[in-house]
A and B are shown apart, each in its own frame.
Chain A
């Protein structure tokens, strides 16, 4: 199971950031060719990302590229570049329906065949940024075998809903809808960016909320947020200790051919064992919460 707690946005036109971002070790790095790049730099950013993706420093980190929408003059060229360069995941912005993903998937498959890349090896994720996208979240999440996740994008969404960012009330329905769609589809769910990078307290409060809701992680705009996020997602010592005991009890029951697992007199079923394994995986990835 791939951990995707942190997805760090990098402006695709910024050579310095593209050259150094791997040192911050987010779970995924997302090169942005869309909103972070001005119209006159789209061509140069596409080339920078094309070459950065092939740089060996990004071999051991999951790479994501947010392309421009396919109905713009840039989207298809972005896709040609990044699929050929070996990107792990293409992030489609402003996804309103499953048809948007189907259109993307057809183009990805065409490019994979043209460049000799294994068909199906380019994974996809969709950013949901509108009321239509939220209402169609389930059909979007289940639209393709290539889908690894869906992300809520807060700014455009609240504009579409004729409201503004606040204490999170304005995102409550969308967060729950996106999260449920992801869980039904068996893919990951990513929360919105927290744009005030100097407000650590506010950031951590939001992280605590989305972690409780069940999000896998969050899109980030500053490397400083990575450690804060990973620490908040790290299990406590008590969590790890309990998870070890659950897994040990499950393994013992399996060795003894017992159908029912018990720990301290309480029955433990498969979801609890799976949760315990996820806790141990998180502990291995990020240590115990400080």
Chain B
């Protein structure tokens, strides 16, 4: 899966996160994470984000995340929403999104 257009998902409200995805000219995935709880949960957030990207099979695109203390389930949902929007995917295989 490749990001083919800029896309956003989420908000900057408390307990949410904003995910922005941007196309890259080559097959490379860049991930930037900023979080209000980076000190306590930074590694866990990174693990959730990377696992979500791997599950989707993302091979090209930049993913910038601004986290406002979201739960893991919200992180998964927002990252998936942004990637699927940026890759212009309409038909989902729900069994691969759990």
CB-CB contacts below 8 Å: B1-54 with A? 9-11, 13-17
CA distance A115 to B11 in the complex (A): 31
A19–B70 CB distance below 8 A? yes
B contact face: mostly helix, strand, loop, or mixed: mixed
Residues from chain B with Cβ under 8 Å of A284 in the complex: none
Residue A132 at the B interface, CB < 8 A?
Answer: no
Q: What is the interface size of chain B, counting residues whose CB is below 8 A from a CB of the partner?
A: 24
Most-contacted residue by chain B among A20, A43, A115 (CB, 10 A): A43
Known: A15-B16, A16-B14, A43-B85. A50 touches B70 (CB 8 A): no
Given A51-B74, A51-B76, A51-B77, A15 and B98 contact (CB-CB distance below 8 Å): no
User: Does residue A38 face the partner (Cβ distance < 8 Å to B)?
Assistant: no
- B94 x A15 contact (CB < 8 A): no
Q: Which residues of the other chain, B, contact A52 by a CB distance below 8 angstroms?
A: 73-74, 77
Q: Tell me the minimal C-beta distance from B54 to chain A in angstroms.
A: 16
A55 to chain B, nearest CB (A): 5
Asked if A47 is an interface residue, CB under 8 A from chain B, the answer is yes
**CA A95 to CA B16, docked complex, whole Å:** 33
Q: Are A48 and B77 in contact (CB under 8 A)?
A: yes
Per the bound structure, the CA–CA distance linking A220 and B71 in Å amounts to: 25
Task: Flag if A16 contacts B85 (CB, 8 Å).
Answer: no
- Interchain pairs with CB closer than 8 A, number: 66
Q: Could you say which residues of chain A place their CB within 8 Å of the CB of B71?
A: 15, 19, 55
Which residues 71-94 in B have Cβ within 8 Å of A in the complex?
71, 73-74, 76-78, 80-81, 84-85, 92, 94
- Chain A interface category by residue count: 20 to 34
A16 touches B81 (CB 8 A): no
Contact between B77 and A47, CB atoms less than 8 A apart: yes
Q: B58 to nearest A CB, angstroms?
A: 15
Cα of A16 to Cα of B73 in the assembled complex, Å: 11
In the assembled complex, A81 has its CB within 8 A of some CB on chain B? yes
Closest to B79 in A: A47
Contact partners of A50 in chain B: CB under 8 A: 77, 94, 97
Q: Is the CB of B80 within 8 A of A47?
A: yes
A84 touches B95 (CB 8 A): yes
A159 at interface (Cβ–Cβ under 8 A)?
Answer: no
Q: How far is the CA of A19 from the CA of B92 in the complex (A)?
A: 24
B-contact 0/1 string along A55-87, CB 8 Å cutoff? 100000000000000000000010011001100
Q: Out of A16, A44, A48, A80, name the residue touching B94 (CB < 8 Å).
A: A80
Given the complex, which residues of A lie within 8 Å of B81, measured CB to CB?
43-44, 47-48
From residue A17, how far is it (CB to closest CB) to chain B in Å?
Answer: 8
Q: Report the Cα distance A81→B77, complex, angstroms.
A: 12
Which residues on the B side are within 8 Å of A20 (C-beta)? 15
Q: How far is the CB of B81 from chain A (nearest CB, A)?
A: 4
Given A15-B10, A15-B17, A52-B74, output 8 extra A-B contacts at Cβ < 8 Å. Answer: A15-B74, A16-B15, A47-B78, A48-B78, A52-B73, A52-B77, A80-B94, A81-B94
Nearest 3 CB-CB pairs, A to B? Answer: A16-B15, A51-B73, A15-B16
Q: Pull 15 A–B residue pairs with CB atoms less than 8 Å apart, ordered by A.
A: A15-B71, A15-B74, A15-B78, A16-B13, A16-B16, A19-B15, A44-B10, A44-B78, A47-B81, A48-B78, A51-B73, A51-B74, A52-B73, A55-B73, A115-B95
